[in-house]
Amino acid sequence: MTRGGRQKDREEPERRCIVTGDVQPKGGLIRFVVGPEGQLVPDLADKLPGRGLWVTADRAVLEQAMKKGAFSRAARAQVQVPEGLADMVEEGLAKRLVELVSLARKAGLAVAGFEKVKDWLAQGKAKVLLQATDGSERGKGKLWTPQGGRYFAVLTASELGLAFGRDHVIHGALAAGGLSTRVVEEAAKLAGFRGRDGGGTAGKDTKTA
């Protein structure tokens, strides 16, 4: 497994982190590009033109890149790194994750609420379990990681609520599918920035993923 929380897939394009030197599937890294005036820009969607500068999806690694001038060294030019870059990336990742979960909900591939999530888990329909970081540990511990699936606690109840069109949500689950795969990728990246549980177990009555 890569540091970004993904299972390594040999068919997926790989990139080298400019800080650690590790080569891994690009889904486990954050892409940056240098703008026309030398400013560094996070490219979370991996769509901006220009040469990509890749950093492992981990706050500590990104902060090391800024501290040691890794971006200027990799670009072989002076690069202007914006203040609060790590927070900027974290905020962007959270927004992308909320949007993906919202899309899954609209497609009928996601449910929220303890009973609905529990039913999906019992039926084997859930492949991704999402729980709020600020939810009750006792309540969260009554659910388990889907068999062969993943568990993440990286969003707050209000953030998870945005994805489901509610004020707040503690428990959410996604069925298998392309959107769920993207949710896992983005949630793993966000876990690297928030130091939260990405891919572990939900509580004592769990099944390993």
Query: What pLDDT does residue 3 have?
Result: 44
In the chain, ranges of CATH 3.30.1330.30 domains:
89-198
Instruction: Give one word for 76, left, alpha or beta, with left for phi > 0 and alpha for psi -120 to 50.
Output: left
How far is 122 from 112, CA to CA, in rounded Å? 15
Query: What pLDDT does residue 85 have?
Result: 98
Burial, 95: exposed, middle or buried (Cβ in 10 Å; 0-12, 13-18, 19+)?
middle
Binned at pLDDT 50, 70 and 90, residue 197 comes out as low
Greater model confidence, 201 or 12:
12
- Domain 89-198: which CATH class? alpha beta
Helix (H) or strand (E) segment spanning residue 33: strand 29-34
In the chain, ranges of CATH 3.30.1230.10 domains:
14-82
The whole model's pTM is what? 0.88
Residue 185 confidence (pLDDT) above 50: yes
**3-class DSSP assignment, residue 171:** strand
Query: What pLDDT does residue 12 have?
Result: 81
| Per-residue pLDDT reduced to its tens digit, 24-76 | 999 999 999 999 999 999 999 999 999 999 999 999 999 999 999 999 999 99
Cβ partners under 8 Å of residue 170, min gap 6: 114, 131, 132, 135, 136, 139, 140, 157, 160
How far is 86 from 200, CA to CA, in rounded Å? 24
Kindly state the percentage of the chain with pLDDT values over 90. Answer: 86
Mean pLDDT of the chain: 91
Would you give the distance in Å from CA 160 to the centre of its chain?
13
Whether residue 52 contacts residue 29, with contact meaning beta carbons closer than 8 Å, is answered with: no
- CA-closest candidate to residue 201, choices 142, 126, 115: 142
- CA-closest candidate to residue 161, choices 198, 121, 110, 200: 110
| Per-residue pLDDT reduced to its tens digit, 2-26 | 444 444 445 789 999 999 999 999 9
Binned at pLDDT 50, 70 and 90, residue 142 comes out as very high
| Per-residue pLDDT reduced to its tens digit, 115-138 | 999 999 999 999 999 999 999 999
Residue 205 confidence (pLDDT) above 90: no
Query: What pLDDT does residue 207 have?
Result: 38
| Per-residue pLDDT reduced to its tens digit, 79-93 | 999 999 999 999 999
Query: What pLDDT does residue 11 have?
Result: 75
Whether residue 162 contacts residue 102, with contact meaning beta carbons closer than 8 Å, is answered with: yes
Residue 155 confidence (pLDDT) above 80: yes
- Domain 14-82: which CATH class? alpha beta
Greater model confidence, 149 or 201:
149
- CA-closest candidate to residue 98, choices 112, 116, 77: 112
Residue 8 burial (CB count, 10 A): 12
